[in-house]
């Protein structure tokens, strides 16, 4: 089997057995002769020796970020594009385009089939200028005791939610 290195951000192909495949820039792939010819013809791949020098020079490059995005999406497909974007330091639209490619290739489940989002992701955090009632509802959704939530001022609610967020970050990070 010929060995190729992906020259674009993403390369898609279908194996002879019908399995959809996806690879990111700089990734080395083994494909059959016909697939190698097709990918080479559209400029999606290069021979491995040509890319070795460019991939060393491109450490920390755009393609590396795209590879990290793909890894993160495969690890936690239920998280939002914006959440992945914040953690990796890229635009959410970039995450969305890679998510779409991975879904089409069958690498991750479609968003509708993914596991349900965690409770912390379901309720959208109100803006600081939102009404106290919105903050009470959000605090209840986050698991703060309803009686406490209704007795707190807006500033106390925001502080309680921030503490909850910090605890979750320490637990997950």
pLDDT value of residue 15: 79
Could you tell me how far CA 68 lies from the centroid of its own chain? 8
Confidence of residue 57 (pLDDT cuts 50, 70, 90): very low
The verdict on 65 and 141 lying in the same domain is no
Residue-range definition of the domain harbouring residue 146: 119-172
The average confidence (pLDDT) of the chain is 78
Confidence of residue 112 (pLDDT cuts 50, 70, 90): low
The verdict on 98 and 14 lying in the same domain is yes
pLDDT per residue over 22-42, tens digit each? 777 777 788 888 888 887 787
The domain boundary residue, chosen from 104, 139, 157 = 104
Burial 106-136 (b: 16+ CB within 10 A, else e): ebbeeeeeeeeeeeeeeeeebeeeeebebbb
pLDDT per residue over 113-141, tens digit each? 545 555 545 567 888 888 998 888 888 88
Q: Any idea which residue has 């060393």 for tokens?
A: 56
Decide if pLDDT at 51 tops 60.
Answer: no
The verdict on 95 and 131 lying in the same domain is no
Angle at the Cα of 57 from the Cα atoms of 53 and 62, rounded to 5 degrees: 120
What's the CA gap between 17 and 21, in Å, rounded?
A: 11
The verdict on 14 and 91 lying in the same domain is yes
Give me the number of domains the chain comprises: 2
Query: Looking at the domain assignment, is residue 114 inside a domain?
Result: no
pLDDT value of residue 59: 44
Quick one: average pLDDT of 1-14? 74
The verdict on 53 and 88 lying in the same domain is yes
Query: Looking at the domain assignment, is residue 113 inside a domain?
Result: no
The verdict on 96 and 133 lying in the same domain is no
Report yes or no: 43 and 4 within 8 Å, Cβ to Cβ.
no
Report yes or no: 13 and 27 within 8 Å, Cβ to Cβ.
no
pTM check: above 0.95: no
When comparing pLDDT for 51 and 137, which is higher? 137
In this structure, is the dihedral angle defined by the CA atoms of residues 139, 144, 148 and 152, taken in order, positive or negative?
negative
Confidence of residue 48 (pLDDT cuts 50, 70, 90): low
């Amino acid at each position: 089997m010929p060995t190729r290195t992906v020259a674009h951000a993403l390369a898609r192909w279908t194996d002879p057995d019908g399995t959809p495949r996806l690879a990111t820039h700089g990734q080395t792939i083994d494909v059959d002769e016909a697939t190698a010819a097709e990918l080479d013809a559209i400029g999606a791949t290069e021979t491995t020796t040509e890319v070795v020098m460019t991939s060393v020079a491109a450490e920390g490059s755009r393609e590396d970020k795209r590879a990290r995005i793909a890894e993160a999406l495969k690890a936690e497909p239920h998280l939002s594009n914006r959440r992945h974007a914040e953690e990796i330091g890229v635009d959410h639209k970039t995450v969305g385009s890679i998510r779409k490619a991975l879904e089409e290739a069958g690498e991750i489940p479609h968003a509708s089939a993914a596991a349900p989002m965690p409770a912390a992701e379901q309720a959208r955090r109100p803006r600081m200028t939102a009404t106290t009632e919105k903050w009470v509802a959000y605090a209840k959704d986050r698991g703060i005791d309803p009686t406490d939530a209704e007795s707190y001022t807006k500033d106390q609610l925001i502080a309680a939610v921030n503490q909850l967020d910090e605890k979750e970050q320490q637990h997950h990070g």
